[in-house]
């Protein structure tokens, strides 16, 4: 639930997990985050009990779900500061290890998503987190690459992530 900026307005239910789970054998919510401009909600849902999350989008003003679904993700995602795109981690089809970071433009076909980073060493898992300044999105934990979020308004090229602290084995 959230309360609109004006205190006189009613609280609004953003998501009813019981309703989302209705008629299914399994349901878990992996994450939920509202875009920086408060217009779109992204959420990661697992319906299989395999930690394979689908990311869906809901337009909050219209109370309408977007058509696009980002499938086979780890559930890890971060909004770009422009509120027009989201970065997310896709899992390997066979190993189910999180290994690729993609950029999705809201309202576009997921087949057009841009691969930003791919981890080729399966001893490292890929996830996403925003820095405290919210200027960068990090790809941790054993290694640190960053995505310059100021560039989020333009189409990013493959491997547009820059190494901050290269990966290394051991501690």
pLDDT, tens digit (0-9, with 9 covering 90-100), for 59-80? 999 999 999 999 999 999 999 9
Non-local CB neighbours of 157 within 8 Å, separated by 6+ positions: 114
pLDDT the model gives residue 144: 55
Residue located via tokens 């960068």: 136
Angle at 117 between CA 37 and CA 124, to 5 degrees: 110
Half-sphere exposure of 124 (CA within 13 A, CB side): 21
pTM, full prediction: 0.81
Mean pLDDT, 10 residues at a time, the chain of 171 residues = 62 78 85 94 89 94 94 96 96 92 96 94 87 87 58 46 54 44
pLDDT the model gives residue 169: 54
pLDDT the model gives residue 22: 83
Closest C-alpha to 27, from 11, 51, 46, 52? 46
pLDDT the model gives residue 51: 85
d(CA 153, CA 135): 13
pLDDT the model gives residue 151: 45
Phi, psi of 19 (to 5 degrees): -65, -40
| Domain spanning 17-165: CATH superfamily | Prolyl oligopeptidase, N-terminal domain (2.130.10.120)
pLDDT the model gives residue 50: 76
pLDDT the model gives residue 99: 94
d(CA 3, CA 162): 38
Strand order of the β-sheet with 162-165 is 129-130, 136-139, 144-148, 162-165
């Amino acid at each position: 639930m959230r309360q609109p900026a004006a205190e006189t307005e009613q609280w609004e239910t953003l998501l009813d997990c019981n309703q989302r789970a209705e008629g299914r054998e399994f349901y878990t919510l992996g994450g939920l985050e509202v875009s920086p401009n408060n217009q779109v909600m992204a959420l990661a849902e697992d319906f299989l009990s395999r930690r394979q999350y689908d990311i869906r989008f809901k337009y909050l003003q219209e109370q309408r779900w977007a058509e696009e679904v980002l499938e086979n993700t780890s559930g890890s995602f971060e909004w770009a500061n422009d509120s027009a795109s989201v970065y997310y981690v896709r899992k390997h089809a066979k190993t189910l290890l999180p290994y690729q970071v993609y950029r999705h433009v809201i309202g576009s076909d997921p087949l057009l998503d841009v691969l930003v980073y791919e981890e080729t060493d399966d001893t490292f898992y890929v996830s996403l987190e925003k820095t405290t300044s919210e200027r960068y999105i990090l790809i941790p934990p054993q290694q640190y690459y960053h995505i310059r979020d100021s560039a989020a308004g333009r189409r990013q090229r493959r491997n547009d992530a820059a190494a901050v602290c290269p990966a290394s084995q051991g501690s």
